[in-house]
Structure 1
């Protein structure tokens, strides 16, 4: 998981512009009522709009400067500002009877809705992605964090990443990026990063290059700001979510309506608002200003140019600024709400606010309606092999804004700080830790081995890991050793791998394992590196089998959205208990199995970044679908049984702007043939077989049935559905924000030939199993409480036997 503050540091290219801010408010002269989205211009062409409350902030280079304020239905007002004024100025406009014959307005709101409706209907005729067969353009991006960075430090707790030192000691942060963008109709857009550099880092931080700052298009159903999606003002759902009003018209060569849009419902989190300049003739977007106003103020602008060859408008420049706000609404960045808190009083805060993050994207070398070599199954972003090693002459060729002497000094200052603070090392540790490793030199220690506990082994301690690219880019070695204190047995594994193809991340691995596994557990090969710091089910498991396994595995990322693992294994199985498998009047407590397995995981709506060495998922799209087929091969290496197993899993998550979330997890499994209980299925039970509720009090799992007892059910056919709905966290204090999650789980299944399994007692799930409950998470240090109730066909006679009460544990890294 990416640290949000770390993401905010390196978003994508920004530029610092201007030093003088003029702050004020625009009101009706007679009533004193604030005039929202009035147009304010300076004599040097700076441009701003007043907020919903009539407030504005506009930049100028020097004093004196002339401000011209206009608002539909009011007389223009021009004032001269000669010196800096610490108090905000008040501009009072006189109403007038205006001849609006050009616009032919009877009702400003009704006419605006009519114009927006027509604009939405004409989207396909104005959207470059629908209008043209293909196009390409280049962009130069520049990112800058200004000297006023204390406000930025208040955005989020930085204790987890020691990177705030960079802000305390450096005057600014700077990064640059040059990209080639290509689009082919009916295919996704491709970005090739031709050059990139960040102060202090010799190599690019690839996760940051995948962050989407703002949407390239205003014609899509959703608009993105900092990886968070909002309903676009030109969405088909726009009328239900926005209020529209005509503010003004332009009298340029291509006249346009200036239309205000504001959210219809007031919420405790910021929503999009702003103005659209809509071409009167084509109803295409000429310019857009989009804002999120709250504890942070985020302003996104889009500028377009009319191209005669396509008889339409195409974007030429985009910009986003972030500054401290003066409202109570939260602003959503990176999928969550980020608050800067209250920095002083509203008045002081408003008058002293400066941009501390500014990003500009200049678009040039535009080639319209051309053929482009863009394929369907390709990464959304690809990094050129020499992108991080470009010469100064290359940068000068593409820079659309100059690098100042102070900018160049910033590179040197931050370089020394990053080196002194060893920040690159810390970033590497964080990224490795999130997938379960801790890197030391050429070796990554596996964090799943050091300490565990279960009812069979008792305390299980060990050590393991694998070599990394510092050891070799084509070879890797891995291994582990563990010891169980209750069973007094050692377990171990060893293996190695060889890189067959760098482009598809194809590795051929050979492994040997002497260990134990839970009876009835089913592991998807493509999920092997899903890491959890704490695995609560392990504490209560006591039904295991022993295995000694040789395996050969081929890992491949066939396409960005499709990964596969193919495995052939031979295992010698022995029981830890009294279980025996009966076949043809013969009982087996030990047997040999040979299996061939293929697993696929498909993420059709995820987006990927292709680095010089591998793929990185930059947008977690849903659903994610995993499938696996296993064939037991009787007679191969003296294997005893023939059977097959099929598994299918689908996960879908809905993340909402108000921090609520709904997730669905469906899994269906089937097995047939001569297959022992060890290799059948359970539904991930997590209730210890103890007498009282308090004795069963343990830790809840992430996908487990909390009221289902261990060993109670086994299946050869099994389907489960789990639904979770998390409401937005309840903010009690700045650090105490508990989360309430409602949970429902269903399971149905059956087992073939139950009499073949001797020595254990269990039931099938043919009548359907149901439980529901709730969690109250993050009450203290990641801990919370879980309660669940079992009902339906498998409801137990004693009421208390149907109840589960447990701790939950969610550690957010």
Structure 2
């Protein structure tokens, strides 16, 4: 009875599906192909007529297109589809000869250059305003072609296991065995994971982008994966297959031009460059449709080297002469389930060897975009808050936005996986992953700071420690924290504790009180409001620096995100400070009490954020970005010092036809009198032992400058980097390139005699030039070579030269 109902349901569903029309052409002569077979899951839907056309109905996401004498292809199901098939015989298609030469077609490259050059103008964000909605579905499942076979295999396997003699097992092993069988059964009737979400996108030139998650539901989880809300592929970015920096990974060939909905489109086929054999050189990874009038992207399909391992298809549509993404379909392999079957062939030397039956697991992502409107009425309140707002997360209104109905298998996913998620506490396990994105290691209600486990500087040597805070699982509003550390070289403990109290859950807004007993490098640039990536990059700045001071005290602060772009931090502190090196300030000694207030601002107008239960998450960090800090030392509440300390930093990155340029400008000013640690160190990274300089990059450091040598009370510095637009492939899948770097700093110190220790002021322009190899030998590291030039250069090559290592993901 159930099978009969399923058949009836499927028949009704197929007949209410929207009708699709596909036209199949031959590449080169653009003639229609008669008799091309269109199928879904190996089921024939029909064959094209003499005009190369077939109209059909299906609930499949993709269909296979095959014709005698042509390479087979796939097409994402749409209302109107056109597919071009290339002939198998290389003698009948001149393009095949070009392919064997292993060179891209110059015409294809010229078109792609125009696509890149016109991308900004073709982007919807060149309009004054717009809005649209989307429905997205993300799932983890076995490949559709394998589901029926998997079901039969599992049933047979379970029946076979029942006939085997029962083994004596421990309770734990017996439990694992039962759970393994349950999971195998589960996969036969439902997906392993399903996530639906409906969103509204708003944009205006004045207020930027706003994304409202109208509703979403995740199988097996009590709450959505906020950190993954921003997942998207080609909606607002040039596809990786045609980016200028990736051109060396592919070969491109202009094969044809076709009309789609009355518009002429160029058809460019491409394949991966590592296809070395002549036969494989005739195979394509995908194709690109480019509108001939605007050079906007109409469609792109890209397949992995093995087509079964993944693919992505994106389709755009013109609205107001701009190209909006209308449909996307992505599939990529994520591991496989392997089962031991019958014993291997009797002739095998290893009698215990067993054959493996494998079923691949795939991530499927589909997205439909609809309800496009431009221009729209723009209200400031509609753009308030962070870039992404979650309006609803229980799935109760998803029916209003679904562009296709859930399959029986998908419905079963919610029913079955929800119970599995509750049983195995999937929320808790997933939070470990989301914590790592922010640099934290989550263990239940405790977050450990990933940077603090092990550090190194020349004063403490190896610094071992841990920093932990209680997260939102302890309390949504109150978060106590503490840390400790021990320096192997100075043989001293450091520690601190604090508590943060939120005033709202809608944005970052909290009061904080803390106690600390620690050491810090003299003259460090202010790092308040720096994110995890910046702190990692600057963590090696004191590798060769031993000019440290001790500070013990209390601090009260308040932090608030005034807008999505502007953050403020206000604080007051009272501490005892003491140099840990031979130092005397104005003949007053090396110990002082300090009371100071401080205000720090961060402005990042183009960065995009979302508020999660664990705090704000910046899912897209864009430039420009500005920081400003003002600290005021006061002779009150027992303070010995009166000074004003200002520091600022601004940075920007932009792309032109001659490459990608990054600029960072920063500076500081101290007025009044204060010990050297309230002045500014010039951030030398080099060894002072006369050895070859090898160091790790830092955000503001100089590879060739001796560490702890130069101090100023006023300075200005710059960091300029330019990526040469020459990209090449070395090893692996990474693309390598070269950066030219120029760093400089200059300033002065008003009363150098006040500071009695071995140092120098830097009152001329210090410069170093560098050359960085990005993704060196295909690795995730950049290797840089730097040389000191100008006033501070010496006649000795080794003193001017330095080698520097940097993780590529840290950026410029």
Indicate whether the TM-score tops 0.5: yes
Q: Does structure 2 retain, via aligned residues, the 8 Å contact 1:213–1:225?
A: no
The answer to whether structure 1 residue 670 and structure 2 residue 669 are counterparts is yes
Partner of 1:551: 555
Three-state SS of the structure 1 residue aligned to 2:455 is strand
Equivalent residues in 2 for 1:480-519, closer than 5 Å: 480-519=483-522
* Structure 1 contact 744–773 (Cα < 8 Å) conserved: no
Instruction: Report the 3-state secondary structure (helix = DSSP H, G, I; strand = E; otherwise coil) of the residue aligned with 1:428.
Output: helix
Distance 2:538 2:603 in 1: 27
Q: Is the 8 A contact 2:37 2:66 kept in 1?
A: no
Are positions 1:714 and 2:734 aligned together? no
Q: Are the counterparts in 1 of residues 254 and 267 from structure 2 also a CA contact under 8 Å?
A: yes
Matches of 2:686 and 2:654 in 1, distance apart? 29
Among 456, 475, 480, the residue aligned to 1:477: 480
Moved more, 409-418 or 744-753: 409-418
Q: Structure 1's 566 and 772: CA in aligned 2 closer, same or farther, altered over 3 A?
A: same
Contact 1:575-1:589 at 8 Å conserved across structures? yes
Deviation (angstroms), 1:699? 4.4
Partner of 1:688: 687
C-alpha distance in 1, partners of 2:213/2:783?
46
What is aligned with 1:65?
Answer: 46
Deviations 1:59-115 (A, max 9, x none): 69964624257xxxxxx456999x999765548999xxxxxxxxxxxxxx9xxx9xx
Pair 640,665 (structure 1): closer, same or farther in 2 beyond 3 Å = same
Report the Cα distance in structure 1 between the residues aligned to 2:314 and 2:430, rounded to whole angstroms.
29
Matched, 1:142 2:137: yes
- 1:749 aligned residue: 747
* Deviation, structure 1 residue 665: 2.5
Residue 394 of structure 2 aligns with which residue? 389
Asked if 2 retains the 8 angstrom alpha-carbon contact of 1:383 and 1:612, the reply is no
The change in CA–CA distance for 1:479 and 1:284 in structure 2 (over 3 A counts) is closer
- Residue-pair matches, total: 663
Cα distance in 1, alignment partners of residues 657 and 253 from structure 2: 16
Q: Which moved more, 1:265-274 or 1:667-676?
A: 265-274
User: Which residue is equivalent to 1:308?
Assistant: none
Q: Counterpart of 2:433 in 1: which secondary structure?
A: helix
| Distance in 1 separating the partners of 2:199 and 2:379 | 15
Equivalent residue number for residue 45 of structure 1: none
Residue pair 2:25, 2:33 contacting (<8 A) in 1 also: no
Structure 2 SS opposite 1:532? helix
Select which of 301, 307, 327 maps to 1:319. Answer: 327
> 2:324, 2:684 → 1: CA distance?
57
Per the TM alignment, residue 565 of structure 1 is displaced from its structure 2 partner at its CA by 0.9
Once the two structures are superposed, residues 615-636 of structure 1 have per-residue CA deviations (whole angstroms, 9 ceiling, x without a partner) of 4323221111111111222x21
Question: Which residue of structure 2 aligns with residue 539 of structure 1?
Answer: 543
Cα shift readout 1:452-507 (whole Å, capped 9, x = no counterpart): 34332334333332111122111121222223343333222122121123333211
Q: Distance in 1 between matches of 2:759 and 2:466?
A: 36
Higher helix share: 2
CA deviations over 1:224-258 (Å, ceiling 9, x no partner): 36799969xxxxxxxxx999997448xxxxxx632
Measure the CA separation in 2 of the matches of 1:572 and 1:559: 36
Secondary structure of 2:435's counterpart equals helix
SS in 2 for 1:522: coil
SS at 1:274 equivalent: strand
TM-aligned CA deviation for residue 753 of structure 1:
1.4
Change in 2 beyond 3 A, CA 1:772/1:806:
closer
Distance 1:214 1:738 in 2: 23
Aligned-partner Cα distance in 2 for 1:355–1:487: 52
Q: Match of 2:226? A: 206
Aligned pair 1:589/2:596, yes or no? no
What does residue 224 of structure 1 align with?
237
Aligned mate of 1:411, from 411, 414, 419: 414
Residue aligning to 1:177: 197
Q: CA deviation at 1:600?
A: 0.9
Q: Quote the Cα distance in structure 2 between the aligned partners of 1:87 and 1:493.
A: 72
Deviation at 1:722, TM superposition (A): 2.0
- Structure-to-structure mapping, 1:605-620, within 5 angstroms: 605-611=606-612, 614-620=615-621
1:766: which partner in 2? Answer: 764
Question: 1:293: how far off?
Answer: 6.8
Q: Is the 8 A contact 2:142 2:362 kept in 1?
A: no
Alpha-carbon distance change, 641 to 354 in structure 1, aligned in 2, over 3 angstroms: closer
The one of 688, 701, 704 aligned to 1:704:
701
**1:641 to partner: Cα distance:** 2.4
Structure 1 match to 2:78: none
Contact 1:382/1:611, CA 8 A, preserved across alignment: no
Question: SS in structure 2 opposite 1:526?
Answer: coil
CA distance in 2, matches of 1:703, 1:58: 59
**2 CA distance for matches of 1:358 and 1:486?**
52
Question: Distance between the aligned counterparts of 1:41 and 1:60, measured in 2?
Answer: 22
Distance 2:318 2:399 in 1: 25
* Deviation of the 1:376 alpha carbon: 5.2
Separation in structure 2 between the aligned mates of residue 777 and residue 277 of structure 1, nearest angstrom: 36
Residue of structure 1 equivalent to 2:8: none
Unaligned runs of 5+ in 2: 1-13, 57-62, 71-84, 93-106, 147-182, 245-251, 275-284, 334-359
Determine whether 1:196 maps to 2:216: yes
Using structure 1 for the length normalisation, give the TM-score: 0.68
Cα distance between partner residues in 2 of 1:228 and 1:377: 35
Task: Supply the RMSD in Å over aligned alpha carbons.
Answer: 5.2
